[in-house]
Amino acid sequence: MKNFQGKRGIILGVANERSIAWAIAQELHTRGAELAFTYVNEAIEKRVRPLAAELGVTKIYPCDVQKDADLDALKVAVSNDWDGIDFVVHAIAYAEKEDMACKIRDIRRSGFQLALDVSAYSLIGVCGRFADLLAVRKGSVLTLTYLGSERVVPNYNVMGIAKAALEASVRYLAWDMGEQGVRVNAISSGPIKTLAASGIPHFKDMLNAFAEKAPLRRTVTQEDVGKAATFFLSDDAAGVTGEISYVDAGFNTMGF
């Protein structure tokens, strides 16, 4: 199925071959999309470039979302290469390990600010830069969240608060950008073994409990999320915006 033939967009957050962003990139590539990637530093660049080569991606830009100058430069670089884009995938989140592991009442101010800046404000910063380019093609923005945004997940702590802010941002951005025909949505996936997940204490226990209690009796995979992402980014979802949609084997429906 080549339902993304002629479409193009940028993916922020490819970290390695286990990242959800990479699974989304693979699905979009298979369906005909032209892609661009970003990287935050030299260490990530060394991982991203070989992955980009696998898909024939040649547009690879540096961008630290904590720096306004980097976001501005990214906008300029993409604008020089493309006169409009069909989608942006925002797959960026970060919190210090000590702020994930400590009690929520003990989180440092600096750690709280870091988690909110990278994991939530960055979506607003990215949308602000790319609104006009997305409007040209009535494009779509997709970000990634998790159930810890609305329910207590032990050891998720400050990231749960950051994801709650991210989800609120999705709704407000959907309203702001909707007048230009741009859609903004989020996928709330079940826990998946990724580089980011390695910072969550007792993550293996979380996976085991999830598989026992989810209606499908299994965890979800990067590929599950990648396939769902192509729907929200496609014309098939032209009437969908401001939504937080679960790809979690039904876990979110369980009450006990």
Residue 57 pLDDT exceeds 60: yes
Name the nearest CA neighbour of 214 among 176, 237, 174, 246: 246
Radius of gyration of the chain (CA): 17
Mean pLDDT of 138-147: 97
pTM score, whole prediction: 0.94
In this predicted structure, which of 62-66, 132-136, 163-167, 247-251 has the lowest mean pLDDT? 247-251
Arch. (CATH architecture) of 8-249: 3-Layer(aba) Sandwich (3.40)
> In the structure, what pLDDT confidence band is assigned to residue 204 with cuts at 50, 70 and 90?
confident
Name the nearest CA neighbour of 5 among 235, 237, 226: 235
Q: Which residues are catalytic?
A: 146, 156
For the chain, the structural domain boundaries read 8-249
| pLDDT given at position 38 | 98
